Structure 1
Amino acid sequence: MDVADLHCDVIYKMMEHPGLSLLNPDDRLLDVTVERLRQGGVTLQVFALFLPQALPRTPENMLRAVELYFSGVLAHPDLMPVLRSQEVDAAGKMGKIGALLSIEGVDGLQGHFWMLRLLHRMGVRLLGPTWNHANWACDGAGEPRGGGLTKAGRQLVQECERLGILIDVSHLSDNGFWDVAETANRPFFASHSNVRALRTHSRNLTDDQVRALIAVGGIIGVTFVPWFLTDPEPASIQHILRHVDHICALGGERHIAFGSDFDGAERYAQGVEHPGQYPRLTEALLKRYPENMVRGFMSGNAKRFFVKNLQN
């Protein structure tokens, strides 16, 4: 069964380990390899542009990360960039793995919208305004102040919509989420978040936020990071299913996707520690839901969202 994964941190790993890439993988360092993507049936993978904490947040380092995406990800013959709506399904039909580029944190843009426009020309189609901290655009989920979008952050949302870049709310503060909901004229999404009703964590979504995403036609990438799934750990596939169940109970069966966060965490739910193990999740879902719904969860909902909302 085809899989679409809304978030991985391969680029981050490549920046931390010079010489590492999908062309030169080391599965002791990388969760995501082309072999594992193939094993798991992944036909669409979002690659996040997230700078390691030790690096200065500069346009130069943002460009370094994009260069690694080109030289270490897209250079692999099995990968194909997805820039337009018609390319979402084209990749799989051509036997390729579609790759979408996302910004996770706009710190390095330093408020320069010319830089955003340049990155769009280089392939960025998705953008999360921040990681967990505060920056020039907004407060993140880990910022105690809990502010929303700044004036420049609202301008960022508007410029993204003009360019055709979709907004990812996964790391925003609650006020930031609602500011995006108020500012945005196009659907937005959460790439790797779970539900707060089952696991109280600032990175998870409240029921009202889930309903808001459903209302605008967005998608929610249920993530495999254990501390977003349950407390105490360890987490298992059964905990993932509980979050899927809850979103379905809120009317979100056509809005569920998965955002593993592979290569972005130290550990994952047992049974889905890398993309090659996606069939285990599929099998567990098929015991609980009809096949057509499971196909939606695994890739159909995400692909429909991108086909509808990426520009032609």
Structure 2
Amino acid sequence: MRVDKLKVADFHCDVLSKMQASPDINFDNDPRLDVTAERLASGGVELQCFAIYLSATRGKPSFEHVLGQIDLFRQKIVNTDGLQWVRWKEQVGNRLVGAPPQAMLSLEGVDGLEGNLFYAQLCFELGVRFLGVTWNYANWAADGVLEKRNGGFTEKGRKLIEWCNESGMLLDVSHLSQAGFWELADLSNRPFIASHSNAAAICGHVRNLNDEQIKALIAMNGRMGLTFYPWFVSDDGKARMDDLLKHIEHVCSLGGEKHLMFGSDFDGIDTWVEKLEHPGKYPDLIEQLLRYYPEDTVKGWMYENATSFLSANLPSQVSKP
């Protein structure tokens, strides 16, 4: 099997926040970006999830900032000649030969929704399909992983969970506190994902998931996207592709072979795994994985585990009122 024939899904990048900060950035091939249209094509990335991340450098997060990044996504990522926007389960895997890559839209931290579920509904109507509840700190919905008190969800946050379950908006626990993780696991009637988190047993970064959390994701048929930020890969902050294999091996040892995917965090990181600096390098990672694992298993990690989750859990356009 030629490595350039394996498709890739990547569940997290921060292109939009960079574009909001520097409006002159060109998504096609701008050197200021890790993820560009050219690199997605050369890397075989068939599905890329773009996060709406509201940097603290822009002041207090607001819904206006959220709308600004949605507009950038619409105008510069999925414009007439751009990527194909995925919003419904019927679009997943329904690909014509030679079609451009697909793109999804997520929200990293609900701070910008300002505690207003109507804003969450507007995000859904505008095409956002994943909500990461927090970034690293507390907001109106829950505590992030760096909050020392390790609190769970607020009353409004629990209403947000209920609304997500009813509407079809999917939830993402990367950055959520441990208490929040377990409360969500108890309250949600739908599986969720960790879009960009690694295994704490291999690298002790606070953002990585412990074994019990990973087992819980597996039990609910959720998904775990391994991230390429070196500090989440190796305790000394220096990482090679082989170091990612340690996380893969560990998650698989817990029963997670069918639940692994990737969430690179490209454009949200300032150091990179050696020889994995942008999505154009995905074929090199695939080649490395194929040295040790069967082709069907690698296919699952690179693309099929992610798309099977979307096919099962995205809302249906057919049932849309």
Q: What TM-score results when the alignment is normalised by the length of structure 2?
A: 0.94
Matches within 5 A, 1:259-274: 259-274=263-278
Q: 2:8 aligns with which of 3, 28, 34?
A: 3
Amino acid at match of 2:39: R
* 228-237 or 290-299, larger mean C-alpha shift: 228-237
Q: State the match for 1:50 in structure 2.
A: 53
Equivalent residue of 1:288, what SS? Answer: coil
Q: State the match for 2:255 in structure 1.
A: 251
Q: State the match for 2:128 in structure 1.
A: 124
Matches within 5 A, 1:62-141: 62-75=66-79, 77-91=81-95, 93=97, 95-141=99-145
Q: State the match for 1:298 in structure 2.
A: 302
The runs of 5 or more residues in structure 1 that have no matched partner are none
Q: State the match for 1:231 in structure 2.
A: 235
- Pairwise CA distance, 1:258: 0.4
- Pairwise CA distance, 1:78: 3.6
- Pairwise CA distance, 1:157: 1.1
* 158-167 or 75-84, larger mean C-alpha shift: 75-84
CA distance in 2, matches of 1:76, 1:198: 43
Equivalent residue of 1:273, what SS? Answer: coil
Query: Does 2:1 match 1:36?
Result: no
Query: Does 2:313 match 1:309?
Result: yes
Equivalent residue of 2:47, what SS? Answer: strand
CA distance in 2, matches of 1:31, 1:272: 10
- Pairwise CA distance, 1:94: 5.7
Corresponding pairs, count: 310
* 252-261 or 46-55, larger mean C-alpha shift: 46-55
CA distance in 1, matches of 2:268, 2:297: 28
Kept in 2: contact 1:15–1:52 (CA 8 A)? no
1:153-182 CA-to-partner distances (Å, cap 9, x unmatched) read 111111112111110001101111101101
Kept in 2: contact 1:190–1:220 (CA 8 A)? yes
Q: 2:288 aligns with which of 274, 281, 284?
A: 284
CA distance in 1, matches of 2:177, 2:96: 35
Q: State the match for 1:240 in structure 2.
A: 244
CA distance in 2, matches of 1:156, 1:233: 35
Sequence identity of aligned pairs in percent? 46
Q: 1:157 aligns with which of 138, 158, 161?
A: 161
Q: State the match for 1:60 in structure 2.
A: 64
CA distance in 1, matches of 2:304, 2:220: 17
- Pairwise CA distance, 1:13: 0.8
Kept in 2: contact 1:43–1:91 (CA 8 A)? no
1:55-100 CA-to-partner distances (Å, cap 9, x unmatched) read 2211111111111111121126240100111112124656121111
Kept in 2: contact 1:6–1:259 (CA 8 A)? yes
Equivalent residue of 1:124, what SS? Answer: coil
Kept in 1: contact 2:109–2:135 (CA 8 A)? yes
The runs of 5 or more residues in structure 2 that have no matched partner are 1-5, 317-321
Amino acid at match of 1:241: L
CA distance in 2, matches of 1:199, 1:151: 33
- Pairwise CA distance, 1:126: 0.5
Q: State the match for 1:197 in structure 2.
A: 201
- Pairwise CA distance, 1:267: 1.2
Q: What TM-score results when the alignment is normalised by the length of structure 1?
A: 0.97
Q: State the match for 1:19 in structure 2.
A: 24
Query: Does 2:222 match 1:210?
Result: no
CA distance in 1, matches of 2:44, 2:80: 17
Kept in 2: contact 1:43–1:92 (CA 8 A)? no
**Structure 1 moving runs of 4+ over 4 Å:** 91-94
Amino acid at match of 1:305: F
Kept in 1: contact 2:227–2:264 (CA 8 A)? yes
